[in-house]
Amino acid sequence: MNDLLLELDDWPKYPFVDRFILPTSEMPLCRKVYKPSLILNQSVLRLIKEYGLIPERLTIFHQRPGFTGESIHTDGTPGDPRYAVNWMLGDSTFSWYRAVDKRIPPPTNLNTRGFITVFDPTAVEKIYTTKSNGPFLANIGVPHKGENFGTGNRWACSLRFYNRFPNWSATYDFFKSKALQLS
Ligand SMILES: [Fe+2]
């Protein structure tokens, strides 16, 4: 098992319906929340159903060229078994971090996507970076951030579900066994 991610080779490489226009902004980072059934293509919706997953929301994070300023955070409090299926469009890195300092910051309340916990960048060290465009299953209960080192736009499309698992290991095993079952 990988503690941070699982490449989802059986999931479609491009998730959206044909007419969908990716959001852009003049701001360095902008976040837009969508209802999954309105913008995901039939291949993805069919697969989600076969997996027995219930989509909650799809958030698209647009980052302008060269933007590396996203905060290092966990979704929920650190250790919450949060997961997402991520597609990365454009040049992208996605990195995970480990706290090297015992101080765990208080969660920050963000109305549109629940609690996140933001970490002081001097209190963590990077453990792994992927340049994968996905889709991949991401452990977002571990501190992480996305960056755009490229000269074009980057979009991180993060699909969240109502289904809950007791921990990352159970989440990983669920996705792995569904892929085997359905292949
Ligand atoms: Fe996140």
Is this prediction's pTM over 0.85? Answer: yes
DSSP-assigned letter for residue 178: H
**Which has more pLDDT, 154 or 108?**
154
Q: For the CA atoms of 135, 47, 14, 170, what is the dihedral angle to 10 degrees? A: -10
Domain positions in the chain:
5-11+26-182
Give the strand pairing for 124-130 and 114-119: unpaired
If you measure from the C-alpha of residue 41 to the centroid of ligand 1, how many angstroms do you get, rounded to a whole number? 23
Three-class SS state of 179: helix
If you measure from the C-alpha of residue 135 to the centroid of ligand 1, how many angstroms do you get, rounded to a whole number? 15
Bond preceding residue 135 cis, omega within 30 of 0: yes
If you measure from the C-alpha of residue 151 to the centroid of ligand 1, how many angstroms do you get, rounded to a whole number? 23
pLDDT digits (tens, 9 = 90+) for 93-146: 999 999 888 777 777 777 666 788 888 888 899 999 999 999 999 999 999 999
CATH topology for 5-11+26-182 is Jelly Rolls (2.60.120)
If you measure from the C-alpha of residue 74 to the centroid of ligand 1, how many angstroms do you get, rounded to a whole number? 6
Q: Residues whose CB is under 5 A from ligand 1 (ion)? A: 75, 140
